[in-house]
Structure 1
Amino acid sequence: MTVANPTAEVLEGASVRLWIGWKRVLSRSDLAAWADGTGGRPGTPQKTLDVPSLAAGAHIDLTFSLPVDGLRLTGDDRAPRELAITLADGRSTLAAVHSFLLWDPAPPGEGTPSGDSGARGTTPESPEPPSPEPSDTGQTGTGKTGTGKTGTVGLSLLAPMTGPALDPADPHSAGALAALTAPGGPLARTLAAVGVAEGATGTRGALAIAVDPALVATATASHDPQTTAWAGAVTGLGDRTSVSPLPAYDPDLGALAHADLGAPDLTGALTAPLPAGWSVPSTWGATVAWPAGSTPDVATLAAARAAGLSTAVVMDGLAPSQGTATGLAAVGTNAGGVTALVADQALSQVLAAATDLAGGEAPVLSAAEATQRLLAETAVVAFQNAGDEPHLLATLPRGWSPDADALHATLGALQASGWVRLAPLDELRASPVPTVERTPLPGSQPQDGELAPLEVRRLADARSAVASLAAVADDPRAVTSLVAPGLAAPVSVAWRSSPTDRSTAVDAAIDAATTLRSALTVSVVNLEVTLISAAGALPVTVRNNLPVDATVDVVLRPDDARLIIESRPTIVVAAGTEARVNVPVSALASGDVDVQVQLLTPDGAQAADPVSLQLRVRAGWETVGTAVLAGLVALLLVFGIWRTVRRGRSPRRTSDADVPDPLIRGEAERRA
Structure 2
Amino acid sequence: MTPRRRAASSILLAALVTLLGLGALAAPTASAVPAPVGLTTPTPTPTRDDALPLRVQITEVSPAVLRPGEDLVVTARLTNTSADQIVDPRVLVHLERIRPGSRADLQVWLDEPLTGQRVGNRVAQATTATALAPGTSVDVAVTVAADSVGLLDRPDTWGARGLAVQAVAGGQRIGLQRSFVLWATESDDVPQARVSVLAPVIGPAPVPADLDLPAPGPTLSELVQPGGRLDSMLAIARTSPDVALVVDPAVLASARAGTDATAAWAGDLAAAAVGRDVVALPWSDPDLTALAHADAPGLLDVAVETSATAVTTAVDGGRPLSARTDVLWAPGPVTDQSTIDLAARSGASVLVLSPDDLPEDVEAAGARSELTSSAGTIAGLVPDATLTTLLADPAELMPDPTGATVVQRVLAELSVLARGSDQGLQHVLIAFPRDADPDADLVERVLAAVQGAPWSRTAPLTALLGARGSTDEAEAPPATVDVPDALAPAQVQRLVGARDATVAFATVTEDAGPLLAGVDTAVLAPLATAWREEPTLRGRLVDAVVDAVDARRVGLTLARASAQYLVSANNTVRFSVRNDLPADAAVRVQTTPRKACLRIEPSETVVVPAGGEEVVPVAVHAIANCEVVVEAVLTSTDGTPLAEPVTFVVRASPTIESVGTAVVGVLLAVGLVLGVVRTVRRGQSARRGARRVHDDAGTRPLPVLGGTPEGDDA
TM-score for the superposition, normalised by structure 1: 0.77
Q: How does 1:412-451 map to 2 (within 5 A)?
A: 412-451=448-487
Residue 322 of structure 1: how far off its partner (Å): 5.0
2:402 pairs with 1:374: no
Structure 2 residue aligned with 1:294, among 333, 336, 339?
A: 333
Contact 2:233–2:440 (Cα < 8 Å) also in 1: no
**Aligned residue number for residue 631 of structure 1:** none
Cα distance in 2 between the residues matched to 1:499 and 1:47? 56
2:372 partner amino acid: G
Cα distance in 2 between the residues matched to 1:89 and 1:572? 95
**Aligned residue number for residue 587 of structure 1:** 622
Contact 1:547–1:576 (Cα < 8 Å) also in 2: yes
Bigger shift: residues 460-469 or 157-166: 460-469
**Aligned residue number for residue 250 of structure 2:** 214
2:274 pairs with 1:194: no
**Aligned residue number for residue 352 of structure 1:** 392
Structure 2 residue aligned with 1:76, among 151, 155, 173?
A: 155
1:57 partner amino acid: G
**Aligned residue number for residue 102 of structure 2:** 27
Q: How does 1:463-482 map to 2 (within 5 A)?
A: 463-476=499-512, 478-482=514-518
Give the secondary-structure state (helix, strand or coil) at the position aligned to 1:500.
helix
**Aligned residue number for residue 101 of structure 1:** 181
Contact 2:308–2:325 (Cα < 8 Å) also in 1: no
Contact 1:520–1:543 (Cα < 8 Å) also in 2: yes
Contact 1:165–1:495 (Cα < 8 Å) also in 2: yes
Give the secondary-structure state (helix, strand or coil) at the position aligned to 1:249.
coil
**Aligned residue number for residue 331 of structure 1:** 371
Residue 268 of structure 1: how far off its partner (Å): 4.7
Cα distance in 2 between the residues matched to 1:90 and 1:599? 94
Higher relative contact order (CA 8 A, sep 6+): 1
**Aligned residue number for residue 54 of structure 1:** 132
Contact 1:355–1:406 (Cα < 8 Å) also in 2: no
Residue 265 of structure 1: how far off its partner (Å): 5.2
Structure 2 residue aligned with 1:4, among 45, 66, 79?
A: 79
Mark the runs of 5 or more structure 1 residues left unpaired by the alignment: 109-148, 198-203, 357-362, 629-672
Cα distance in 2 between the residues matched to 1:104 and 1:388? 21
Cα distance in 1 between the residues matched to 2:246 and 2:282? 10
2:564 pairs with 1:529: yes
Residue 207 of structure 1: how far off its partner (Å): 0.6
**Aligned residue number for residue 661 of structure 1:** none
**Aligned residue number for residue 242 of structure 1:** 277
Give the secondary-structure state (helix, strand or coil) at the position aligned to 2:235.
helix
Distance change >3 Å, CA 534–CA 6, structure 1 → 2: same
**Aligned residue number for residue 252 of structure 1:** 287
Contact 1:557–1:595 (Cα < 8 Å) also in 2: yes
Cα distance in 2 between the residues matched to 1:487 and 1:481? 12
Deviation by residue 1:500-559 (Cα, 9 ceiling, x = unmatched):
211111111121123223444423242x22234443322223344545443333212233
2:349 pairs with 1:306: no
Bigger shift: residues 246-255 or 534-543: 534-543
Contact 1:166–1:489 (Cα < 8 Å) also in 2: yes
2:521 pairs with 1:485: yes
Bigger shift: residues 32-41 or 177-186: 32-41
Structure 1 residue aligned with 2:228, among 180, 185, 199?
A: 185
Residue 578 of structure 1: how far off its partner (Å): 4.3
Cα distance in 2 between the residues matched to 1:380 and 1:389? 13
Distance change >3 Å, CA 13–CA 448, structure 1 → 2: farther
1:308 partner amino acid: G
Residue 459 of structure 1: how far off its partner (Å): 2.3
Contact 2:249–2:311 (Cα < 8 Å) also in 1: no
Distance change >3 Å, CA 575–CA 63, structure 1 → 2: farther
1:86 partner amino acid: Q
Deviation by residue 1:254-297 (Cα, 9 ceiling, x = unmatched):
222233x2544554566568999985646111242212242322
Contact 1:34–1:40 (Cα < 8 Å) also in 2: no
Bigger shift: residues 276-285 or 240-249: 276-285
**Aligned residue number for residue 612 of structure 1:** 647
Q: How does 1:620-631 map to 2 (within 5 A)?
A: none
CA RMSD of aligned residues (A): 3.3
Residue 475 of structure 1: how far off its partner (Å): 4.9
Residue 183 of structure 1: how far off its partner (Å): 3.4
Give the secondary-structure state (helix, strand or coil) at the position aligned to 1:192.
helix
Contact 1:214–1:275 (Cα < 8 Å) also in 2: no
Cα distance in 1 between the residues matched to 2:478 and 2:661? 83
Give the secondary-structure state (helix, strand or coil) at the position aligned to 1:60.
strand
1:492 partner amino acid: A
Deviation by residue 1:322-367 (Cα, 9 ceiling, x = unmatched):
54243111112334323111211111111223699xxxxxx97322
**Aligned residue number for residue 230 of structure 1:** 265
Bigger shift: residues 558-567 or 240-249: 558-567
Distance change >3 Å, CA 441–CA 93, structure 1 → 2: farther
Residue 377 of structure 1: how far off its partner (Å): 0.8
Residue 8 of structure 1: how far off its partner (Å): 4.4
Bigger shift: residues 35-44 or 210-219: 35-44
Deviation by residue 1:101-138 (Cα, 9 ceiling, x = unmatched):
11111348xxxxxxxxxxxxxxxxxxxxxxxxxxxxxx
**Aligned residue number for residue 45 of structure 1:** 122
Give the secondary-structure state (helix, strand or coil) at the position aligned to 1:312.
strand
Aligned sequence identity (%): 34
Residue 308 of structure 1: how far off its partner (Å): 3.1
Mark the runs of 5 or more structure 2 residues left unpaired by the alignment: 1-75, 315-319, 664-714
Cα distance in 1 between the residues matched to 2:588 and 2:84? 86
Residue 24 of structure 1: how far off its partner (Å): 0.7
TM-score for the superposition, normalised by structure 2: 0.73
**Corresponding pairs, count:** 572
Contact 2:79–2:137 (Cα < 8 Å) also in 1: yes
2:437 partner amino acid: S
